[in-house]
Amino acid sequence: MSTKQWKWYVYIIKCLNNTYYTGITWNPNIRYEQHLSKFGSKYTAKHGIKKLAYLEEHTNLETARQREIQIKNWNQEKKEKLIKGEWKKEW
């Protein structure tokens, strides 16, 4: 039995229209490449990508998914504060 602990990441991508896309992944590099190639999500394929704006590490899928949902429900201003480091992690 393997004792390897998977890491999960919540990420925010800034799109060309200055909106944000929030998602989760176990491999940020591969996931970002998927978004760049327009296979990451319909939203980023439609709106294009400026940059990876934020990345947050989690030790399990459950907490990463909860955090993704939380951030998705935030307004643009609150997401920008998180990206700039002006907003603390809230659970």
Q: Which one-letter amino acid corresponds to residue 35? A: H
In the chain, where the domains are located: 20-84
Indicate if the pLDDT at residue 1 is higher than 80.
no
Condensed to tens digits (0 to 9), the pLDDT of residues 18-68 reads: 999 999 999 999 999 999 999 989 999 999 999 999 999 999 999 999 999
Q: What is the mean pLDDT of the chain?
A: 91
Indicate if the pLDDT at residue 2 is higher than 90.
no
Contacts of 2 (CB under 8 A, 6+ apart): none
Residues 57 and 19: their CA atoms lie apart, in Å, by 22
